[in-house]
Amino acid sequence: MTTQQLHEQILQKKSFLCVGLDPDLNKIPQHLLETEDPIFEFNKTIIDATHDLTVGYKPNTAFFEAYGIKGWVSLQKTISYINEKFPEIFTIADAKRGDIGNTSSMYAKAFFEDLNFDSVTVAPYMGKDSVEPFLAFENKHTIMLALTSNEGAFDFQTLETNGKELYKQVLETSKTWKNSHNLMYVVGATKAEYFTEIRKIVPDSFLLVPGIGAQGGSLSEVCKYGMNDKVGLLVNSARAIIYASNGTDFAEKAREEALKVQQEMKEIINSKF
């Protein structure tokens, strides 16, 4: 998928919501445990209930790997289901990978070719040659951690280096990498005040924004400082939507929560575009 197609989908659906698929057998409705593949069943039901309100789905690989081979099967079924039934939707493998060059190539192959995701999240610590193998895939997108939404973000990401915080250095350096036009960035919503600074460095890039909902970020603040003239935001919400209820009404409640966010987004888009 191209960023232009993603942009068009956003304007059409009046939404830049991405739903995080973090299936946890201890949290999903317990009646699903009787099905053959509870994780896929849960994801599929959430997807069917929310696909017209969202432009992206972001399965986090940890929640699949924790269940071993069964989990990997559920992940494959989930991405195949989205690609077949809702091919217009942008898919993100939230995997936070990164390794030396030949190894990163194998990760890129895993997520872009074998599973056929539109994008994958990567970690920047190992630098250029750990990320460029992902960037070599045209019309695939590499979403690099810049400033994350967790408390530990302040351990290293905001350290002063060369007169600027590390996350800014990460953003600046990454722009010099080959095929950097295939980069997007993770920027946590819990720090909306940082968006102004970030937009000075990467005015045109899409930002994936976790931390809305359960993690406490404010949508209007994020949009005020982070939106660009192509919207340029994908705002992720996971727990607040997928675990809105753990009863048999979970799909309905998930839709209600997604709709609330989408309505807020619709107002913002209508006022700006």
Active-site annotation, residues:
96
How far is the C-alpha of 7 from the C-alpha of 129, rounded, in Å? Answer: 29
3-state secondary structure of 41: helix
In angstroms, what is the minimal distance from the CB of 211 to its own copies? 9
Nearest residue (CB) to its own copies, 2 versus 106: 106
Task: Please tell me whether residue 169 binds its own copies under the rule CB under 8 A.
Answer: yes
Task: Please tell me whether residue 266 binds its own copies under the rule CB under 8 A.
Answer: no
Task: Please tell me whether residue 155 binds its own copies under the rule CB under 8 A.
Answer: yes
In angstroms, what is the minimal distance from the CB of 127 to its own copies? 2
Task: Please tell me whether residue 129 binds its own copies under the rule CB under 8 A.
Answer: yes
Sign of the Cα torsion 144, 174, 170, 221 reads negative
In angstroms, what is the minimal distance from the CB of 249 to its own copies? 24
Strands (E), the chain: 17-21, 56-59, 90-97, 119-122, 141-147, 160-161, 164-165, 183-187, 207-209, 233-237
In angstroms, what is the minimal distance from the CB of 74 to its own copies? 10
3-state secondary structure of 182: helix
| Nearest alpha-carbon partner for 89 in 162, 135, 177, 21 | 21
Task: Please tell me whether residue 151 binds its own copies under the rule CB under 8 A.
Answer: yes
Task: Please tell me whether residue 25 binds its own copies under the rule CB under 8 A.
Answer: no
Tokens of 218: 């404010």
Q: Which residue has the tokens 């690989």?
A: 61
Nearest residue (CB) to its own copies, 120 versus 269: 120
Q: Are 38 and 44 in contact (CB under 8 A)?
A: no
How far apart, in Å, are the Cα atoms of 95 and each of 40, 81, 166? Answer: 18, 19, 22
| DSSP 8-state code for residue 113 | I
Region 66-95 residues binding its own copies, contact defined as CB under 8 A:
66-69, 71-73, 76, 94
Q: Are 253 and 29 in contact (CB under 8 A)?
A: no
Give the residue, chosen from 145, 187, 222, 233, that forms a contact with its own copies under the rule CB under 8 A.
145
The single-letter code of the amino acid at 80 is S
Task: Please tell me whether residue 262 binds its own copies under the rule CB under 8 A.
Answer: no
Give the residue, chosen from 62, 175, 178, 247, that forms a contact with its own copies under the rule CB under 8 A.
62
3-state secondary structure of 179: coil
Task: Please tell me whether residue 157 binds its own copies under the rule CB under 8 A.
Answer: yes
Nearest residue (CB) to its own copies, 126 versus 259: 126
Per-residue binding letters, 211-250, with its own copies (x by CB under 8 A): ----------------------------------------
How far is the C-alpha of 133 from the C-alpha of 220, rounded, in Å? Answer: 35
Residues in the site for its own copies, rule: CB under 8 A? 22, 24, 60, 62-63, 65-69, 71-73, 76, 94, 96-101, 103-104, 106-107, 109-110, 114-115, 123-131, 145, 148-157, 159-162, 166, 169-170, 173
